[in-house]
Amino acid sequence: MARIDLVDLAHAYRPNPTTDADYALRPMNTSWRQGGAYALLGPSGCGKTTLLNIISGLVVPSRGHVLFDGVDVTRLATEKRNIAQVFQFPVIYDTMTVRENLAFPLRNRGMPAAAVAARVGEIAELLDLNVDLDRRARALTPDAKQKISLGRGLVRSDVAAILFDEPLTVIDPALKWELRSKLKALHRALDLTMIYVTHDQTEALTFADTVVVMHDGAIVQMGRPNELFERPEHTFVGHFIGSPGMNVLPAKVEGRTADVGGVPIALGRSYSAIPPGRKIEIGIRPEYVRLSSGEGVPVRVERIDDLGRIRFAKVRLGDARLSVVAPPGVRLEDDRSRVSFDPAQIHVYADSRRIEGDA
């Protein structure tokens, strides 16, 4: 159990990186508190797995340090680090029984047999693997195999953190929920630091109390799920979280008004000191745009997507396209539709980063 700090950490797979693009991970400073449930969220190739492998020691970073409770472990071998990692595809030892699989990490560390047996029993109980303990591991279903992988991570009580690398990819959707709630329960019961890599926002938002969004090798925002939703610090977070994502529209902002292609939109705050020469955009979530025939700016409804529980309309405002929530009764043929924005929920971005306005 430990607090994990990443100090000035960066990694490039090729030698002598020069530009930003050469880095799989750009320089970053973060810390992960003991006992936290973190999700590393981002699209494929954004550096999530690299970051995870650096924490577990499978990859040695080209720059910076990894600290566990203040102790520098950057060059310490994985097996000496007290870290557990669960991989995307279940990794089991084919020739061993489930019990032997679970006991393997403990035996390798020379734990006495009685203690191993007790601990294995405990973990098997937690994971509902009791009935299968004496079966050959390779005879089990993929989700049971993944539970064994999880179990091998959990069985060591002294781990600094458990890292999950998209562990539910191969699991049936119905079992995904079950395993995810199991993980959540385990996190509460065992007071372990867990870092969970995924590209699925639902998985990240339901599992973690802190979600870390990564983009292009950099952490763009670290926060609670509702913060990511309400106040995306980066347009990428706005796009990536939420379905559909935030509407981002190029605009000219002056004081309390944004000008989107000639249409003035009122803002909740005043933006006076915007440095010139930056790309200015405003962002608003579809949930905070009201589509009606009454008030607001006129738009053309192009399409309505019915998701069952909720409907989203794609509308056209000048040259810009927006997703907005379509209230019941709105039809595609309504060419006199109008949208109105909730000023408090509009964010202003300069070069993709959110800027704070004055009250």
Partner 1 sequence: MDKPINNAAWFLILPAFAIVLFNAVIPMMTVVNYSVQDSFGNNQFFWNGLGWFQELLDPSSELGGRFFASLGRSALFSAIVLAVQVPLGIAVALSMPRSGIALALCLVFIAMPLLIPWNVVGTMWQLYSRSDIGLLGWTVNAIGIPFNYTNSVLAAWTVLVLMDTWHWTGLIALLCYAGLKSIPDAYYQAARIDGASRWAVFTRIELPKLRSVLLIGVLLRFMDSFMIYTEPFVVTGGGPGSVTTFLSIDLVKIALGQFDLGKAGAMSIVYTLIILAVCWVFYTVMVTPENKGARE
> 138, 188, 279, 331: which one contacts partner 1 (CB under 8 A)?
138
Size (the chain), residues: 359
Neighbour count for residue 160 (Cβ, 10 Å):
24
Q: Is residue 143 a contact point for partner 1 (CB under 8 A)?
A: no
Candidates 35-43, 74-82, 268-276, 280-288: pick the segment binding partner 1 (CB under 8 A).
Answer: 74-82
Does 77 help bind partner 1 (rule: CB under 8 A)?
A: yes
**Binding of partner 1 at residue 48 (CB under 8 A)?**
no
Backbone φ and ψ for 14, nearest 5 degrees, come out as -100, 155
In the list 29, 31, 95, 202, the residue contacting partner 1 (rule: CB under 8 A) is 95
- Binding-site size for partner 1 (CB under 8 A) equals 29
Residue 133 interacts with partner 1 (CB under 8 A)?
no
- Of 135, 184, 231, 311, the residue at the interface with partner 1 (CB under 8 A) is 135
Residues within window 152-171 making contact with partner 1, judged by CB under 8 A: 152-153
Q: What does the alpha-carbon distance between residue 300 and residue 17 come to, in Å, rounded to a whole number?
A: 48
Give residue 136's identity as a one-letter amino acid code. R
User: Which listed residue (65, 136, 239, 311) binds partner 1 by CB under 8 A?
Assistant: 136
**Alpha carbon 229 to chain centroid, angstroms:** 12
Closest approach, Cβ 101 to partner 1, in A, equals 9
- 32: its two tokens: 């992960």
Contact 270, 358 (CB under 8 A): yes
The stretch near partner 1 (CB under 8 A) out of 85-93, 174-182, 224-232, 328-336 is 85-93
Q: What are phi and psi of 124, to 5 degrees?
A: -60, -40
Interaction between residue 204 and partner 1 (CB under 8 A): no
Site membership for partner 1, residue 1 (CB under 8 A): no
Which residues are within 8 A (CB) of 106 and not within 5 positions of it... i.e. 6 or more apart? Answer: 115, 116, 119, 120, 155, 156
